[in-house]
Structure 1
Amino acid sequence: MPRFAANLSMLFTERPFLERFAAAAEAGFEGVEFLFPYDHEMADLVAARDAAGVEQVLHNLPPGDWEAGERGIAILPDRVEEFRDGVETALRYASVLGCRQLNCLAGITPEDADPLELEATFVANLRYAAERLGEVGIRLLIEPINTRDMPGFYLSTSAQALAVMDAVGSDNLFLQYDIYHMQVMEGDIAARLGALLPRIAHVQFADTPGRHEPGTGELNFPFLFAYLDRIGYAGWASAEYRPRGGTDESLAWLAAARAGSP
C-alpha cells in the first residue's frame, strides 16, 4: 500500500488547526499536507509536526488573494514579481518544515486574456521556480484541477500539464495527480496512472461524486491503492476529501488499507 498522508485543510477540521497534526497521527497517517502554512508561525507548525511524529509532505506556493477568489497567480503576466516573492516565502516555510515538495496553482484564466501570453508566463514562472527550488532539493509540482469545482482554472487535464512540463523542460517539475479531479475531467484512472507514472510525484484522492471519503462513490479504492503498489508508485497518497460526517467516522478505508483488506 502507498504511504498515506492527511490533508489538514480538509480533514480533522473539527479541531483547531495545530491540533490536527496529532489527530492525523493518532488515526494512522504517516504524513500531513495542507493548502497553505502562511497564516501560522513556523515554530508552531514545527512543534505540532514534531510532537505528532508525522512528515510534512506538501503545501502550495502562495496563491494570491485566496479569500477574493484567486487560485494561483502563475499564469498572470502582471504578477511575475509577486510570484517570485512567493517562491521565496514558500521556500522559507518548506525548508523549516522539512517539506520536499511544493505545488504551484496555475490560477483562473482572466477574461479576454491572450492565451499565448498566459502560457508563456506560466512556462517562464515554472522554469524559474523549478530551478530555484531545485537548488535546495525541493521538487516543484503542478496540478490539473477540474473546471466543475473550480470554473475557469487554467490547468485542467493531464495532457495539458504534460505539454506545459515539456515546454518548461526541467527535470525538477512533476505532476501532482489528483484522482478526484481527473476522474471528473478524464476518467480511466488506472490506465492513466500507469501511463503517467514516470511524471507523477504525488497522488491525492477523494471519491466521486461529492468529493467524499473512499467507499462513498463510484471509484474502487482498494483496487487503486493496490494498483499504485503494483506499478511501483513510491510517493505519498494524500487523502483530500470532505468527510460526509466527522473525520474519524470517515476513516474505515484507512483501517482496511492498513490491514490489507480487499
Structure 2
Amino acid sequence: MRFSANLGFLWSELSLPDAIRAARAAGFDAVECHWPFDTPAAEVKAALAETGMTMLGLNTRRGDLTKKENGLSALPGREAEARAAIDEAMGYAADIGAGAVHVMAGFATGPAARAAFVTNLRHACARARGIDVTVLIEPLNRYDAPGYFLTTTAQAQEIIAEVAEPNLRLMFDCYHVQLMEGDLSHRIAALMPLIGHIQFASVPDRGPPDGGEVAYGHIFRLIDSLGWDQPLGAEYKPMGPTGPTLGWMQELR
C-alpha cells in the first residue's frame, strides 16, 4: 500500500512547504491538504518538485470562520461566494498540479440546499474539466460536523447520479463512514466505482489507524484486492508530534 499524509492534521505546526518535506522524509508517497491558500502556490510547487511528491487534493474554503462555517456550496443564496471559492481552489490546484478539489457543502438542509449543491457542483465539474482535476464530495459525520448537509454515502451517491458528470467522485473517509453507517467492507466494495479518494483514521478518536475499533489491516487488504492503486490518505489527529505516531506505516503497508 501507498500512503498520503494529510497536512491539515499531520505536521500542522510547520509551514506547508516544510510539512511536505517532513512527509517525504517520513516515507509518505504523496501529500494532501485542507486550505493552502495563505501559502503562495509557487512555494508549494517548489517543495513538491524538490521532494518528488504529488499533492493529491485540497478543499474549497469554509466561508466565514467567525460564524464557524464549513463550506458554502449547499447554502442557498450564497452561490456567488461558493463559485468564487470553487474557482479559487481550482486555480490553486492547477498552479501546484493537485489532482482533486473537495467541494465543501456546508451546514444546510432541505431541497433548496440540495439544489444549490447540485448547481454548484456542476459549475465545479465544468471548471475542472479544462485542468484535469477531479471534483470530490465527502460525507461528514454528525458528531464532528452536526448540521452538515452531506452525511451519508447513499446521499452522496444520489447527488453524484443527479449531477451526472464523470469527473465528480466520492471521497470515502473510513472514519466518517464508520461513525455514520458502519459496514465498511461492503460499502467500500459496492461504492468502489464512484470513489475518487480514500482516507482513514482510528474510530472513534480519529487517532492513528493502529488503534480503535476498525481493523485497518483487513480494510487495506480489501482495498488492494479491489484493484485500488492510489495512495490512501492518512487524515488523523496525532495528538502531539507526528513522528512518534507513525509506527503503523510499516505494519500496515
Q: Structure 1 residue 80: deviation in Å?
A: 0.8
2:133 is aligned to: 138
Distance of 1:225 and 1:240 partners within structure 2: 15
2:156 is aligned to: 161
| 1:55-89 CA-partner distances (Å, limit 9, x unpaired) | 11010122212353111000112111112222221
Q: Structure 1 residue 14: deviation in Å?
A: 4.1
Q: Answer yes or no: is the 8 Å Cα contact 1:213–1:244 preserved in 2.
A: no
1:197 is aligned to: 192
Distance of 2:85 and 2:66 partners within structure 1: 17
- The percent of aligned pairs where both chains have the same amino acid is 38
Distance of 1:25 and 1:44 partners within structure 2: 16
Q: Any gaps of 5 or more consecutive residues in structure 1?
A: none
Q: Any gaps of 5 or more consecutive residues in structure 2?
A: none
| 1:20-78 CA-partner distances (Å, limit 9, x unpaired) | 11110011111111101111111111122222221110101222123531110001121
Q: Answer yes or no: is the 8 Å Cα contact 2:29–2:231 preserved in 1.
A: no
2:83 is aligned to: 84
2:214 is aligned to: 219
1:104 is aligned to: 103
Mapping for residues 113-128 of structure 1, pairs under 5 Å: 115-128=110-123
Distance of 1:40 and 1:5 partners within structure 2: 20
Report SS of the residue matched to 2:142.
Answer: coil
Q: 1:66 to 1:34 in 2, by over 3 A?
A: farther
Report SS of the residue matched to 1:77.
Answer: coil
1:174 is aligned to: 169
1:234 is aligned to: 229
Return the TM-score normalized by structure 1. 0.93
Q: Structure 1 residue 136: deviation in Å?
A: 2.0
2:202 pairs with 181, 202, 207, which one? 207
Distance of 1:66 and 1:222 partners within structure 2: 37
Letter in 2 for 1:209: P
Q: Answer yes or no: is the 8 Å Cα contact 1:131–1:172 preserved in 2.
A: no
2:238 is aligned to: 243
Q: How many residues align?
A: 253
Q: Structure 1 residue 157: deviation in Å?
A: 0.3
Q: Structure 1 residue 183: deviation in Å?
A: 0.5
